[in-house]
Chain A
Amino acid sequence: MKRIGIISLFLILFLAFVTVWNVSYLEGREEAYIPVDNEQPMTLIPSEIGVFERSKFALDYANMPVDENHQRSLETYYDNRAFHGAPPSIPHPVASDRGMGEDICLKCHQNGGFVDKFDAYAPVTPHPEMVNCRQCHVAQVSESLFEETNFHKIKAPEVGINNALDGSPPIIPHQIQMHENCLACHAGPAAPKEIRVTHPERVNCRQCHVSNNKEVRDIGEFKRLSNYDD
């Protein structure tokens, strides 16, 4: 009996040791682990800077006739970008490869206008204050690739499907960081014909058109904290 008592005492002590050792070992491991905070908050509410930036030209845009032979389309607009939202590449030869862009680019791209040489209207930049143009916009001088790519180009927003109700103002289907200035892309002769606004003189665009953030996160519908059915 005595022996069994001693053996079981040691057995209990041994088991206790194993348990305590295990727990403290695991705790030690946990401390060494710093969890990565995955919840990087995204900006959902677009900034107001630049909304009214080009509004002084609004009446000119409204009065401008449409030059049907030199219209851009959404297709060519997206073709010039690696993906929807990427900075467009420079589709024409540039005079000098040395400068950062600045006035040389802005001469045509600040306010746009017809360029005989390219038989096209120069698109207007939505951010003329950023003058190191070629930091983001590069020329495409070669047609060939170094190696083929498996990059998947996601579908860009489409026009004509963004109304909640028949005839209601379409929502803004894209993010607008760095292009808060709506009229730059949606008005004037260089605006792609599908997205050229019919009413550029209504300059408080976001009075009627709000962003829906679906590219960032699916917000879903409004949910109350309490519900009577529960």
Chain B
Amino acid sequence: MYTSLTNRREFLKKMAIMSAMTAAATMFPGILFAEEQEKNLPKGGNLDWKKAPCRFCGVGCGVLVGIDNGKAVAVKGDPKSPVNKGLCCVKGYHSVMSIYGKDRLTKPLVKKNGKFVETSMKEALDLIASKMKETISDYGKDAVSIYGSGQWTIPDGYVASKLFKGCIGTNNVEANARLCMASAVTGFMTSFGIDEPMGCYEDIDHADVFVLWGNNMAEMHPVLFSRLLDQRLKRGVKIIDFATRTTRTSMAADKSIIFQPQTDLAVANAICYEIINNGWVNKAFVEKHCNFKKGLTNMGYGLEDKYNFNDKPEGITFEDFKTFLQDYTPEKVEKVSGVSAKDIKYMASYYGDPNKKVMSLWCMGMNQHTRGTWINNLVYNIHLLTGKISEPGNSPFSLTGQPSACGTVREVGTLTHKLPHGVVTNKEHREFAAKIWDVPAENIPAKPSYHTVEMFRALDRGDIRFMWIQVTNPMVTMPKLKRYRDACEKEGRFIVVSDIYPTPTTDIADVILPSAMWIEREGMYGNSERRTQYFEQMIQPSGEAMSDTWQIVEVAKRLGYEKQFYYNEATHIEEIYNEYRRHHEGNKHAMAPLEVLKAEPGAQWPYVNGKSTKWRFNAEYDPACSNGEQFHFYGNKDGKAVIWQRPYEPAPETPDDDYPFWLCTGRVVEHWHTGSMTRRIPVLHKAMPHAYVELNPEQAKEMQIRTGDQVKLTTRRGEIILPASVNERGVPERNQVFVPFFDENMLINDVTLDAFCPISKQPDYKKCAVKIEKV
């Protein structure tokens, strides 16, 4: 966008073109941007640009990878992708550098006498298969388990589930997405009876107000946040940052509202109170499309082994709900939450205004919460009471953190209770899956076994003896990490780890398998807006690295399941995807055919009659609606969504005299997940070389702590020393500290608490009590 002012007539002409171009640019943010980026590339280069979804977060940006002589050398945003429209973030632009770290694992390693020894792929796979057989015969099939992640491609997760649930016959299949979005799932399931957002990213182009619930979007979902900023420049939308700490997002927002940890439950109820009290309820919508329910309270926090909880939902009336909300007047909630009644009313007024379209966005703040399911329910309550749901711009939107948390863990169902279609507790669902998997229906146990935290506890106790960990790094991410690290190192445990670099998790492995990463293989990811995206193999895997899918297939064959794992090595991804699609046939969840995924920048399920579905439950857009009304919440049998009565309950461990601070953990824009990939990208490592503890500036002064000083953090689990950060990236409130978790050399999870939401079993990494001392 460059014009010269040298000639007046020329200038006027250019101005006209310019304004047309600017209009186009703001209408399609980033499109011109990607072209501009290309201009900066060396001329005459022989780059071959191939499309893929980005390797990192759950936004699922379309990227174009430049391939030169069999090496990935450049990245640009895909202008054709409706997700990012040509823009990426700093991680995406440098993503291909994460393939070429010097210490890439290229050969299988077996631990012998405490040292890793190189071996051949064949021997390593033989050893894994024989260990699995041995464990099953000695301890039973529930002694073997697989732990994957939301970075599993769809085929990876599918073959894992088929092998363990279908063939071996154990529900010991979990994924790190349990630590990341399980509460979002149970939130959807309890409110709507079917998982994943009803809306899509296009809601951003329609909404007038954005409320970010504990979501530092400017750093964690920067590309989507840039779409919000674009809309603000263009249409003057409002961005409200509702959070516990001041971040980059607060700096960018129109209004920053700070609340005390855990009290989002109370504030959400207060907003509902205001909506009802001011007569802002969309009565027609609520009467036609909603039920009211309550569940059990005082559920506990899952801190003890073998903790079990089953909610008992009970119908209530609108009047009951109103009475319940009497405890949540803005004035009463002001006292617990620290949010002024004025600010509560301010937020409620936007939700209540029938002329304003509101989008709520959240991610880990609401999901990593001991009442995660509840807070998800409560935000849906607000949208349901006002009828602001399932239409362009009116959208409660749950973001995800991993590229295929939705696509693989939630849709393929790599959680202990799930099947690709439905749940293991349902006989019909088991029979349906067994038929496609070509196994006897009795193979699939009807009872879920262990969720992630309990799975590692079972490993500690010895109930689980064999664990295969793929594409994730639990020895950095598990809360109360020390217990689970010790568990892995116990005698008589056999741990297989498939990864691309040495990590604290490969450190505790008995066998390490080198995995082919991202574009070194073929696969699909599914992002937060139900978009499935395909990527082809663009480069050769490093050394002997093998895709996670094929590792599992090879082991399955060795275990005697050649019949079920009939796939041909050259075409297995296509065969697996086609088989997987059969699980989702029907208007509610149909997946797009592979040809479509190959040709287009992804497709959103339900993909019916050659069309993606942008807004579910809305008859105008969603072909699965069948009740003749404008909305149909067909996930529940009665076609209605549920408004839940969920109270405020305190966190399990709150600051006291001995441990007077709240400890919150999270991420930074430069590093993704545990940093095993991004820290090997020099640009990102140099920008963010290590973890730190953020302190409140006033309090730091009182304690005579300056940036860089060593600070000891002590919780009931242990202690850790970190350099202080005062007035840098984020600014916590008084009596609160924040630590990013990416740094394997400073493991903050050694001191976090393994309390979890009793319904979703997702741990809360955002709240525990800590003592702070200068050392």
Q: When each residue 204-230 of chain A gets 1 if its CB lies under 8 Å from chain B and 0 otherwise, what string results?
A: 101111111110000101101111100
Q: Which residue of A lies closest to B233 (CB)?
A: A59
A214 to B689, CA, bound (A): 12
Considering the complex, which residues of chain A in the window 32-50 have a beta carbon less than 8 Å from any beta carbon of chain B?
40-49
**Is the pair A48, B729 in contact by a Cβ cutoff of 8 Å?**
yes
**Is the pair A69, B6 in contact by a Cβ cutoff of 8 Å?**
yes
Quick check: is A24 within 8 A (CB to CB) of the other chain?
A: no
Q: When each residue 67-105 of chain A gets 1 if its CB lies under 8 Å from chain B and 0 otherwise, what string results?
A: 111000000000000000000000000000000000000
Q: When each residue 99-118 of chain A gets 1 if its CB lies under 8 Å from chain B and 0 otherwise, what string results?
A: 00000000000000000000
Q: When each residue 502-538 of chain B gets 1 if its CB lies under 8 Å from chain A and 0 otherwise, what string results?
A: 1000010000000000000000000000000000000
- Enumerate 14 A-B pairs (CB-CB under 8 Å) in ascending A order: A48-B730, A52-B252, A58-B233, A59-B234, A65-B3, A66-B2, A168-B94, A198-B36, A210-B670, A214-B686, A221-B685, A222-B680, A224-B745, A228-B116
**Is the pair A224, B687 in contact by a Cβ cutoff of 8 Å?**
no
Q: Which residue of B lies closest to A206 (CB)?
A: B669
Q: Which residue of A lies closest to B234 (CB)?
A: A59
**Is the pair B685, A210 in contact by a Cβ cutoff of 8 Å?**
no
**Is the pair B4, A65 in contact by a Cβ cutoff of 8 Å?**
yes
Q: In the complex, what's the smallest C-beta–C-beta distance from A76 to chain B, in angstroms? A: 19
Indicate whether A51 sits within 8 Å of B684 (C-beta atoms), given known contacts A68-B5, A168-B94. Answer: no
A44 to B723, CA, bound (A): 11
Q: Which residue of B lies closest to A60 (CB)?
A: B233
Quick check: is B590 within 8 A (CB to CB) of the other chain?
A: no
**Is the pair A207, B223 in contact by a Cβ cutoff of 8 Å?**
yes
**Is the pair B687, A167 in contact by a Cβ cutoff of 8 Å?**
no
Q: A167-B38, A167-B75 are in contact. List 11 more A-B contacts (CB 8 A).
A: A45-B692, A51-B248, A165-B75, A165-B93, A204-B225, A207-B226, A210-B90, A211-B687, A212-B686, A222-B689, A227-B103
A57 to B19, CA, bound (A): 16
Q: In the complex, what's the smallest C-beta–C-beta distance from A151 to chain B, in angstroms? A: 29
In the complex, which residues of chain B have a beta carbon less than 8 angstroms from the beta carbon of A65? 3-5, 11, 14-15, 18
Question: CB < 8 Å: which of B1, B680, B682, B688 contacts A164?
Answer: B682
Q: Which 8 A-B pairs have the closest CB atoms?
A: A41-B708, A210-B687, A207-B222, A222-B679, A212-B686, A65-B3, A45-B728, A167-B41
In the complex, which residues of chain A have a beta carbon less than 8 angstroms from the beta carbon of B15? 65
Chain A CB within 10 A, most for which of B41, B75, B90:
B90
Considering the complex, which residues of chain A in the window 183-216 have a beta carbon less than 8 Å from any beta carbon of chain B?
198-199, 201-204, 206-214
A55 to B253, CA, bound (A): 11
Indicate whether A224 sits within 8 Å of B744 (C-beta atoms), given known contacts A49-B251, A166-B45, A168-B74. Answer: yes
A62 to B708, CA, bound (A): 39
Q: When each residue 139-155 of chain A gets 1 if its CB lies under 8 Å from chain B and 0 otherwise, what string results?
A: 00000000000000000
**Is the pair A169, B90 in contact by a Cβ cutoff of 8 Å?**
yes
Quick check: is A171 within 8 A (CB to CB) of the other chain?
A: yes
Q: Which residue of A lies closest to B40 (CB)?
A: A167
Quick check: is A63 within 8 A (CB to CB) of the other chain?
A: yes
**Is the pair A228, B109 in contact by a Cβ cutoff of 8 Å?**
yes
In the complex, which residues of chain A have a beta carbon less than 8 angstroms from the beta carbon of B90? 169, 206-210
Quick check: is B180 within 8 A (CB to CB) of the other chain?
A: no
Q: Which residue of B lies closest to A208 (CB)?
A: B90
**Is the pair B93, A169 in contact by a Cβ cutoff of 8 Å?**
yes
In the complex, which residues of chain A have a beta carbon less than 8 angstroms from the beta carbon of B222? 204, 207
Q: In the complex, what's the smallest C-beta–C-beta distance from B543 to chain A, in angstroms? A: 14
A55 to B225, CA, bound (A): 14
In the complex, which residues of chain B have a beta carbon less than 8 angstroms from the beta carbon of A198? 1-2, 36
Q: In the complex, what's the smallest C-beta–C-beta distance from B73 to chain A, in angstroms? A: 6
In the complex, which residues of chain A have a beta carbon less than 8 angstroms from the beta carbon of B681? 164
A130 to B469, CA, bound (A): 54
Query: Which residues of B approach A to under 8 Å, CB–CB?
Result: 1-6, 11, 14-15, 18-19, 22, 25-26, 29, 33, 36-38, 40-42, 45, 66, 73-76, 87-90, 93-94, 96-97, 103, 109, 116, 218, 222-223, 225-226, 229-230, 233-234, 247-248, 251-252, 502, 507, 669-670, 675, 679-689, 692, 706-709, 723, 725, 727-730, 744-745
A167 to B386, CA, bound (A): 46
Question: CB < 8 Å: which of B75, B226, B683 contacts A202?
Answer: B226
In the complex, which residues of chain A have a beta carbon less than 8 angstroms from the beta carbon of B234? 59
Chain B CB within 10 A, most for which of A44, A198, A222:
A222
**Is the pair B683, A171 in contact by a Cβ cutoff of 8 Å?**
yes
In the complex, which residues of chain B have a beta carbon less than 8 angstroms from the beta carbon of A43? 707-708, 728
**Is the pair A210, B248 in contact by a Cβ cutoff of 8 Å?**
no
In the complex, which residues of chain A have a beta carbon less than 8 angstroms from the beta carbon of B38? 167
Q: Which residue of A lies closest to B22 (CB)?
A: A63
**Is the pair B93, A204 in contact by a Cβ cutoff of 8 Å?**
no
In the complex, which residues of chain A have a beta carbon less than 8 angstroms from the beta carbon of B33? 199, 202
**Is the pair B669, A45 in contact by a Cβ cutoff of 8 Å?**
no
Q: In the complex, what's the smallest C-beta–C-beta distance from A38 to chain B, in angstroms? A: 13
Chain B CB within 10 A, most for which of A49, A219, A221:
A221
Question: CB < 8 Å: which of A51, A68, A165, A169 contacts B97?
Answer: A165
A204 to B6, CA, bound (A): 32
Indicate whether A52 sits within 8 Å of B708 (C-beta atoms), given known contacts A171-B683, A210-B683. Answer: no
**Is the pair A48, B707 in contact by a Cβ cutoff of 8 Å?**
no
A165 to B45, CA, bound (A): 13
**Is the pair B745, A225 in contact by a Cβ cutoff of 8 Å?**
yes
**Is the pair A167, B223 in contact by a Cβ cutoff of 8 Å?**
no
In the complex, which residues of chain B have a beta carbon less than 8 angstroms from the beta carbon of A224? 103, 502, 744-745
A206 to B218, CA, bound (A): 9
Q: In the complex, what's the smallest C-beta–C-beta distance from A205 to chain B, in angstroms? A: 10
**Is the pair A207, B679 in contact by a Cβ cutoff of 8 Å?**
no
In the complex, which residues of chain A have a beta carbon less than 8 angstroms from the beta carbon of B4? 65-66, 68
**Is the pair B669, A166 in contact by a Cβ cutoff of 8 Å?**
no
Q: In the complex, what's the smallest C-beta–C-beta distance from A69 to chain B, in angstroms? A: 7
Q: Which residue of B lies closest to A165 (CB)?
A: B74
Chain B CB within 10 A, most for which of A62, A165, A226:
A165
**Is the pair B93, A208 in contact by a Cβ cutoff of 8 Å?**
yes
Question: CB < 8 Å: which of B36, B66, B93, B729 contacts A45?
Answer: B729
In the complex, which residues of chain B have a beta carbon less than 8 angstroms from the beta carbon of A222? 675, 679-680, 685, 689
